[in-house]
Amino acid sequence: MTAQVQEPWPGWWQVATGRSVVIRAARIALVVGVVLALINHGHRLVSGTVDGGTLARIALTFLVPYCVSTYSSVLAVRERLQRV
């Protein structure tokens, strides 16, 4: 009789950098980031008064939904793997 070797669950970083998680998070960040950037910085974009600080805040506007989506996806994937 052969003992089955159970694969350990993938680590958080391994799941977070997986192709499907990255693509999903990027799509969500693009949509949500555009909406939030327009809501929060649209007046500066329209008037042409965008400076370095505004650009940094716009980048963060895209980074936040990316991180939230990634975190949620990792939790969902790991939870699903625990049930198997």
Residue whose structure tokens are 């990792």: 74
Contact 12, 73 (CB under 8 A): no
Q: Which two tokens stand for residue 49?
A: 């008064």
**Model confidence pLDDT, tens digit, residues 10-33:** 899 999 999 999 999 999 999 999
Please state the pTM of the whole predicted model.
0.81
Start-end of H helices in the chain: 12-16, 19-47, 52-83
- What does the pLDDT read at residue 84? 72
Contact 37, 63 (CB under 8 A): no
Mean pLDDT is lowest, of 3-12, 29-38, 39-48, 62-71, for: 3-12
CA distance 39 to 31: 13
pLDDT above 70: percentage of residues in the chain: 90
- What does the pLDDT read at residue 62? 97
Residue whose structure tokens are 């996806």: 73
